[in-house]
Structure 1
Amino acid sequence: MSQSTRRGHTAGAFDIRVIIAALFGIYGVVITVMGLVATSAEDIAKAAGININLWSGIGMLIFAALFLLWARWRPIIVPETQGESSAE
Structure 2
Amino acid sequence: MSDHEYQRQVEELERESATAARLFDIRLVIGGLFAIYGVIMTIAGIGASDADLEKAQDININLWTGIGMLALGLFFLAWVRLRPVVPAPSTEERSGE
SS in 1 for 2:84: coil
Q: Which residue of 2 aligns with 1:52?
A: 61
Shift of 1:31: 1.0
Q: Which residue of 1 aligns with 2:71?
A: 62
Taking structure 1 as the reference length, the TM-score comes to 0.72
Unaligned runs of 5+ in 1: 1-6, 83-88
Shift of 1:13: 2.8
Bigger relative contact order (CA 8 A; separation at least 6): 1
- Bigger Rg, structure 1 or 2: 2
Q: How does 1:1-88 map to 2 (within 5 A)?
A: 9=18, 11-37=21-47, 39-79=48-88, 81=90
RMSD between aligned residues: 2.1
Unaligned runs of 5+ in 2: 1-13, 92-97
Which of the two has greater strand per residue?
1
Amino acid at match of 1:33: I
Moved over 6 A (4+): none
Partners of 2:23 and 2:77 lie apart in 1 by 11
Which of the two has greater helix per residue?
2
Shift of 1:22: 0.7
Provide Cα deviations, 1:39-63, integer angstroms capped at 9, x if missing partner.
1111112212111001101110000
Amino acid at match of 2:23: A
Identity %: 48
Contact 1:18/1:67 (CA < 8 Å) preserved in 2?
yes
Instruction: Tell me how many residue pairs correspond in the alignment.
Output: 75
